[in-house]
Structure 1
Amino acid sequence: MLMREVSATEERDLLIIIALYKHKNITKTAQSLFLSQPALTARIHHIEEYLKTKLIYRGSKGIHFTPAGDYLAKNAERLLADLRNVQENVLNLGNGVKGTLRIGASIYVSRYILPRLLSLFQNQYPKVDFNVTTVPSRNIINLMHNQDFHVGFTRGDYVWKYEKYELCEERICIVSKNEVNLRNLPQLPRIDYRTDYLNRITLENWWKENFSQPPTISMSVDQIDICKEMVINGLGYAILPNISLCNVNDIYKMYLYDQDKKPLFRKTWMLYQQEMLEIKLVSAFVTFVKNTNFDDAFFNSQM
């Protein structure tokens, strides 16, 4: 227990140094780490007191690192990796599945898949903790290459040269409070939400295949759940994945097809590296995911 507490503190401090070196700004660093500015400042002072040296100073154009701070920041990522490896190797030598599983997931996966999945996994392995980072799918690829995460969850067919496993695929559909005629779609108010590049390209290609004029965007929002609520309240139609509509009643849905009459799907993938399976915790989780049935019942049970 003591080892876990010490490691967690050291890991947090290294993450602070890494983020501070990246942003060179207290406000942005605090936001990226979900800390208040006073809490972040206090922690930086604590690190400096522990090391008995000044690491940063504030200038007119933001944060500047002292030579000692610059040296620490440039070695922080290696130190963090070494710290995590030591902790994982020690836990791996023990009996049972335990430790902290580092997961990177898209916002969509974090909202609709992970809560129930992690709950089921922890029921089977109660000594496991989770460190979940929510980032866009395109960013997960680079972070997985750097082994910042044990496992990553992405949506869309991003290039990944290591192991990947398809969790599920959801149908893409037009949703509206009332029934709509496909031919009238360009004239109807559409609610758009911020999505990743691959999905945006898929939707734009489908639109160009079916219409010669652009859609009438009446509202743009930054989250899929907000978009869904706007549709439910009759403010326009949207193009959404079917899974986001679990337990939503009294709404009109029209599934989309490409020019070859094939349904439009959005796939969700689990990414990992084979060498990570040497860690008992990672191996147990990957096996658990592969044995989980991601059917409608899985998604409906958590809504």
Structure 2
Amino acid sequence: MDYRDWEILKVLNSQKNISKAARLLFITQPALTNRLKNMQEELGVKIVTRESRGIHFTPEGEYLVHCADDILAQFNNIKEHVRNMSKTSGNEVAGTLKLGVSNFFANYELPHILKLFKDQYPHVEFKVITGWSKDVAHFIHNRDVHIGFVRGDYSDRGLKKHLLFEETISVMSREEIDMQDLPNLPRIDYSGDYLLNSLIDNWWTENYTQPPLISIEVDQVDTCKEMVINGLGYGIMSSRMLKDIKEFYKVDLTDQNGNPILRRTWMYYHQESMDWNVVKVFVNFIETLGLQKHLEK
């Protein structure tokens, strides 16, 4: 059996009718019938039975249909791999790049970066998976994606990484506030990733003996920001969230030595992925882009 045979089984399973399947496969009905006969002779089993309303798969046929999805997917992965490894240059770079991207990076930074890249390499396609940074770190570790953009240091010894940019973490309020009185002021809290929550919680325990006064809990940092802007309380978030927002009060968090508490965003990838031409070109593009300065413009 070859690739075309597996395609035939998949289409037959979806249509349950030989004439309809033949039209979708752009072959004649006799040719399709003959192909089925050859498959059955090769395997020594009956794959389908004909009925008045179409065809019915035998148990052996149903098993083959189940295998067809895996075999076709594997073939496409191999084809994509070879295509990505091809030694092309300039605008001829082609292939599909799988990216795992933290939610914030996907919303605020990635679209502009992909536009710049597509301007240079229009034949590259992207599949983007978003999630919490810890989930994206899991994607790249398991090789579900070629490259991961992660906020926070989810380091893995088997991965290469490149620092994209650093940002401070800040207390944000519509009105000026006394930081010593912060535990008594209403705070807008939100669901952040584990490392960010840890940074904020550690800073709090180092500076205050009582817990914060949580007045509102939301599930997204964007919602928190809008509530702070409307004067419903203060929030603690990364400085990049505060970009282009005017007329608000901001205090950067610092450690016990007065150094700013920084949150870093990294690009992670496996070194062997650089054998794929499209991965190598994209990684080099990001590294030479100078993302910190570029995004600050």
Runs of 4+ in 1 over 6 A off after TM superposition: 47-50
Count residues with an aligned counterpart.
247
Q: How does 1:17-36 map to 2 (within 5 A)?
A: none
Q: How does 1:85-164 map to 2 (within 5 A)?
A: 85-93=78-86, 95=88, 96-161=92-157, 162-164=159-161
Letter in 1 for 2:165: C
Match of 2:283 in 1: 286
Instruction: Look up the SS of the partner of 2:289 in the other structure.
Output: coil
Match of 1:57 in 2: none
Shift in Å, 1:129: 1.5
Match of 1:226 in 2: 223
Q: Does the Cα contact within 8 Å between 1:112 and 1:299 map onto a contact in 2? A: no
Match of 2:266 in 1: 269
Q: Does the Cα contact within 8 Å between 2:170 and 2:236 map onto a contact in 1? A: yes
Shift in Å, 1:280: 1.1
Separation of aligned partners in 2, 1:129 and 1:265 = 33
Shift in Å, 1:178: 0.6
Tell me which of 167, 172, 189 is aligned to 2:169: 172
Match of 2:252 in 1: 255
User: Taking structure 1 as reference, are residues 85 and 299 closer, same or farther at Cα in structure 2, changes over 3 Å only?
Assistant: farther
Q: Does 1:194 align with 2:187?
A: no
Q: Deviations over 1:50-103 (max 9, x none)?
A: 8x89xxxxxxxxxxxx99579948x84x86455223223135336321122110
Shift in Å, 1:260: 1.8
Letter in 2 for 1:123: D
Q: Does the Cα contact within 8 Å between 1:156 and 1:267 map onto a contact in 2? A: yes
Separation of aligned partners in 2, 1:69 and 1:260 = 66
Give me the identity figure in percent.
Answer: 38
Q: Does the Cα contact within 8 Å between 1:99 and 1:127 map onto a contact in 2? A: yes
Letter in 2 for 1:288: F
Q: Deviations over 1:141-178 (max 9, x none)?
A: 23223321110111111131210111011010000001
Instruction: Look up the SS of the partner of 1:291 in the other structure.
Output: helix
Shift in Å, 1:296: 5.5
Separation of aligned partners in 2, 1:91 and 1:199 = 35
Separation of aligned partners in 1, 2:72 and 2:140 = 18
User: Taking structure 1 as reference, are residues 122 and 135 closer, same or farther at Cα in structure 2, changes over 3 Å only?
Assistant: same
Separation of aligned partners in 2, 1:195 and 1:47 = 46
Q: Does the Cα contact within 8 Å between 1:112 and 1:244 map onto a contact in 2? A: no
Structure 1: stretches of 5+ with no match in the other structure: 1-5, 15-42, 54-65
Separation of aligned partners in 2, 1:154 and 1:216 = 30
Separation of aligned partners in 1, 2:66 and 2:139 = 21
Separation of aligned partners in 1, 2:289 and 2:160 = 18
Q: Deviations over 1:226-248 (max 9, x none)?
A: 11111111111000100111111
Letter in 1 for 2:109: I
Separation of aligned partners in 2, 1:70 and 1:227 = 52
Instruction: Look up the SS of the partner of 1:227 in the other structure.
Output: helix
- TM norm structure 2: 0.74
User: Taking structure 1 as reference, are residues 91 and 254 closer, same or farther at Cα in structure 2, changes over 3 Å only?
Assistant: closer
Instruction: Look up the SS of the partner of 1:104 in the other structure.
Output: strand
- TM norm structure 1: 0.73
Structure 2: stretches of 5+ with no match in the other structure: 22-46, 49-58
Separation of aligned partners in 1, 2:64 and 2:197 = 40
Instruction: Point out the structure with max Rg over C-alpha.
Output: 2
Greater alpha carbon shift after TM alignment, 231-240 vs 133-142 = 133-142
